[in-house]
Structure 1
């Protein structure tokens, strides 16, 4: 049963974290609106679409940045406790530093469980809405950059490959489609089309302005047409850009998708594994950052809260830097994705143990 001091600290822990989110997320929304309002007006985006986008924006970035908000909020209110000599009074009453940490760990558990549930159920849907809105309505000056990052090249079987230059999740349509089939490194046929559209009701695809070339021993057979309905042995998600397909899948679907990509020998498998492992590593980072924040800010310093916040900001940026660097290494290099994703937590976990020992002294 929680004691009064535990309830007091836990209330401050959760309350300050929520206030921190409520302070910074509106700032992020205002900055985003100021950058994109011209394109929204030009494209005549409906208000309900904008409202839905910023709801997804809030969920997406709250999940992405919650460890940093949590870290800074713990430093903030713990520094206030230290400056008011409340921590000295608590420890002088016979409570050990380890016992003093109990409500912090409980608070980190609550936040981590909530973050894990969000990353499994809410964040994939919010990520899809956020990225689809940007692609559909915010083309403008960012169209070329978006299309540069949305090329899709996939091996769908042992000897079949598909390619599209861009994909629109809303209309279920991909552009500049091509499909090639090989036999012992020899091209058997190639199909190209200006557009390919998925038909939800019919469960098939429609090709527009297509050309199919079948390579023969004595001559090629060429078929052309304005449109054609057909069935392929690949899924709609295979046309979705690598940059966000994994982020938009719920946990169960993500596991199935990764298994399918492994069986195909996909070259992008590390990208998907990084997304999967981060669903678990980010909630765990809440415990590590909480211990570091308490260890750093529980001591009353000459510079007051300013010194603690400065140390906290430096450590927060260091964590973000390591997370981004090792995330890219996990996606692009030969480093194991699991090790790359968990390296920031391992490094800061060691730092947390060191700082905790010094704080106890």
Structure 2
């Protein structure tokens, strides 16, 4: 009996992995063909080297795309080969031999655990660094030069230290109508105003132009006026040049440091960063939920054949993905906590998985 169970486990694991990697490989190949047809004009127009297209872009595009759609194709793979087993009465024979449905789930969960662990590692540490190369290629050969003219920037750069720009041009790294204030226990100690703050790429310092400085010490105040002054601050041009997708290039450790730094500075847009942080852990967890739902749905033999089960499975998986998108929108555009918004789809569909598992054939 034990030997036959081990053979069954190996059979299911082999079927699961082979179906999953075949389906994923096929869709990646199709996606690359469509992507090339869409971007071929950009490659030719900007004379992108073939070596860079292959190794810098597509070699890093594959893990990103594969990980992005892995839960969906895990679900489709489970539905496909399990419903095929059910239609051939293999599931009925397995359950009739005394093997429980939960025991039948064991090899599925082993594969789900392997893929989820791999997905978590890729999401947290491998893909962010591959994204750095991929996005650098896109910014060079596909997208237009990134120019951002931000207005009314307020930031805390250190405890008690605040900066303000009326506007900032990322192309030239020049800020206009700049002010810097330093407080101690709510009392203003130092204030600088400058018509322009320019980043000196040679000296790697900021140059304040047409500036005034006020230094306050109790009842005493010093005033200094000048044309130009080289100085340093606890912020750099890169902080204003970041695109929204730059957090995709940070691994989990870098992202956590970045979020804590933004919290300290009182910077805006923290919701997007926190959604990305929690999404990296919730996304792999979806593998377990979709696997249980897939087995529970497809283990029963139905008259409509496997097409009906695959169709129902795809519909359910797309509603899951849509639910994930809608819930994260609440976090990014509202005051909904990011961790709750990101994990709500998993919680809801985990309950669905439990209900389906209880109603699965015994």
Q: Could you say which TM-score interval applies, normalised by the shorter chain?
A: 0.7 to 0.9
Corresponding residue for residue 307 of structure 1:
308
Q: Find the residue that maps to 2:235 and give its secondary structure.
A: coil
User: What residue in structure 1 maps to residue 218 of structure 2?
Assistant: none
Structure 2 residue 332 is the aligned partner of structure 1 residue 334: no
Whether the 8 Å contact between 1:198 and 1:236 is mirrored in structure 2 is no
SS in 2 for 1:159: strand
Aligned-pair CA distance for 1:270: 1.6
Helix, strand or coil at the partner of 1:181: strand
Deviation at 1:211, TM superposition (A): 4.6
**Maintained 8 Å contact 2:149/2:168:** no
Q: Spell out the pairing of 1:1-361 with structure 2 (5 A cutoff).
A: 3-51=6-54, 52-139=56-143, 155=155, 156-157=157-158, 158-161=161-164, 164=168, 166=170, 175=173, 177-178=175-176, 179-182=178-181, 188-190=192-194, 192=196, 196=199, 204-205=204-205, 211-214=209-212, 221=225, 223=227, 231-235=232-236, 237-360=238-361
Closer/same/farther in 2, CA of residues 246 and 310 from structure 1, 3 Å limit: same
Number of aligned positions between the proteins: 342
1:93 Cα deviation (Å)?
0.6
Q: CA 1:37/1:99 → structure 2, altered by over 3 Å: closer, same or farther? A: same
Q: CA separation in 2, counterparts of 1:45 and 1:104? A: 44
Displacement of 1:236 in angstroms is 5.9
List alignment gaps of at least 5 residues for structure 2.
Answer: 215-220
Q: How far apart, in 1, do the equivalents of 2:227 and 2:230 lie?
A: 14
How far off is 1:71 after superposition?
1.0
Q: CA separation of 1:296/1:176 partners in 2, compared to 1, >3 Å: closer, same or farther? A: farther
Cα offset, 1:356, TM superposition? 0.9
Question: What does residue 217 of structure 2 align with?
Answer: none
More displaced, 249-258 or 154-163? Answer: 154-163
How far off is 1:188 after superposition? Answer: 3.9
- Structure whose CA Rg is larger: 2
Partners of 2:286 and 2:65 lie apart in 1 by 16
Q: Deviations for 1:153-186, whole angstroms, at most 9, x for unmatched residues? A: 562344114665557xxxxxx6554554247999
CA RMSD of aligned residues (A): 3.2
TM-score by length of 1: 0.83
Q: Distance in 2 between matches of 1:135 and 1:285?
A: 32
Q: Decide whether aligned partners of structure 1 residues 151 and 64 sit closer, same or farther in structure 2, where only a CA change above 3 A counts.
A: farther
User: Residue 332 and residue 190 in structure 1: after superposition, are their counterparts in 2 closer, same or farther (change >3 A)?
Assistant: farther
Shift of 1:34: 1.0
C-alpha separation between the residues in 1 aligned to 2:34 and 2:25? 15
2:180 aligns to what SS in structure 1?
A: strand
1:46 & 1:321 partners in 2: Cα distance? 37
- Secondary structure at the aligned position of 1:3 is classed as helix
Of 317-326 and 182-191, more deviation after overlay is shown by: 182-191
Structure 1: where are the runs of 5+ without partners?
168-173
The change in CA–CA distance for 1:285 and 1:213 in structure 2 (over 3 A counts) is same
Indicate how the Cα distance of structure 1 residues 109 and 154 shifts in structure 2: closer, same or farther if over 3 A, else same. Answer: farther
Q: How big is the shift at 1:241?
A: 2.4
Shift of 1:65: 1.5
